[in-house]
Amino acid sequence: MKTLTLLAAVLASLATAAIAAEPIEGSWKTESGETAAIAPCGTAFCITLKTGKHAGKTIGKLSGAGASYKGEITDPANDKTYTGSADVAGSSLRLKGCVLAVLCKSQTWTKL
């Protein structure tokens, strides 16, 4: 009986871990002080600005899991799209956008 109870507890914890949100999901404070939301959209994660001049605009689509993501990031000021990546470390998100993988700019956002 103890074995069956232990097995049920292990299966329940695995099921909970499987449906846990990715670290990238949630609300983030950008370097400019705006709020961006990152949420699942299809098989990727979309970045949508929630506050500021460009509120409501989707500025990125990233795929990945755990701490590393890759995709595209759009500068909302000029509507130019760049090859992007994002790395999550605790409550920090480091976004990087590159042109031809040579000219890159990055920002660090903080989880709200």
Total count of residues recorded for the chain: 112
66, two tokens: 């755990």
pLDDT tens for residues 75-98? Answer: 999 999 999 999 999 999 999 999
Domain residue ranges of the chain, discontinuous segments joined by +? 22-111
Residue 4 CB partners (closer than 8 Å, separation 6+): none
**What fold does the segment set 22-111 form as a domain?**
Lipocalin (2.40.128)
Mean pLDDT (whole number) for 60-83: 95
The whole-angstrom separation of Cα 29 and Cα 78 is 20
Both tokens assigned to 57: 């605009």
Instruction: Give the single-character DSSP code of 21.
Output: P
pLDDT in tens, 21-60: 789 999 999 999 999 999 999 999 999 999 999 999 999 9
Spatial separation of the C-alpha atoms in residues 12 and 84, rounded to whole Å: 36
pLDDT band at 20 (very low <50, low <70, confident <90, very high): low
Q: Is the dihedral of CA 49, 63, 42, 61 positive or negative?
A: positive
The residues facing 72 across adjacent strands are 61, 83
